[in-house]
Amino acid sequence: MKNFKAHGDSMEFTAAADLSSGDGVLIGSIFGVVAGDVLTGATGVAKLTGIFNMTKAPSQAWAEGAKVYWDDTNKRCTTAASGNTLIGVAAAAVGGGAGDTMGDVRLNGSAA
């Protein structure tokens, strides 16, 4: 079909700050994971779907399938909805200990 442009599982964006591969990035109202290092003002690629091991709020337990939000102020995932952007769901349960700072997130690939 002549109007097809892309599969939509990733997108290009202009970086508002220096980002490293694997960082989370909020692009307007859509969330992605940076595919490679990108400098401020440069064009980067963000992956919008898939399961990623992401930094999460410490001392916060996640149940499998719980809604996960992006805390853009602290640049981490959380289950707290207030003031944050819905990005997907927990792909696995994770403990709530102070050392439990990573969690698997299945990105929803849609704008909140």
Q: Where in the chain are the domains?
A: 10-48, 51-108
Whole-structure pTM value: 0.92
Taking the C-alpha atoms of residue 100 and residue 92, their distance in angstroms, rounded to an integer, is 13
Taking the C-alpha atoms of residue 56 and residue 63, their distance in angstroms, rounded to an integer, is 13
Query: What is residue 1's predicted lDDT score, i.e. its pLDDT?
Result: 85
Taking only the tens place, the pLDDT of each residue in 3-17 is 988 888 999 999 999
Taking only the tens place, the pLDDT of each residue in 62-92 is 999 999 999 999 999 999 999 999 999 999 9
Q: First vs last Cα of the chain: how many Å apart?
A: 29
Query: What is residue 54's predicted lDDT score, i.e. its pLDDT?
Result: 97
Query: What is residue 93's predicted lDDT score, i.e. its pLDDT?
Result: 97
Query: What is residue 18's predicted lDDT score, i.e. its pLDDT?
Result: 98
Query: What is residue 37's predicted lDDT score, i.e. its pLDDT?
Result: 98
Taking the C-alpha atoms of residue 17 and residue 19, their distance in angstroms, rounded to an integer, is 6
Taking the C-alpha atoms of residue 88 and residue 30, their distance in angstroms, rounded to an integer, is 11
Neighbours of 70 (CB within 10 A): 23
Please calculate the CA angle 107-79-17 and round it to the nearest 5 degrees: 60
Residue 78, token pair as written in the block: 């959380």
pLDDT at residue 112 tops 90: no
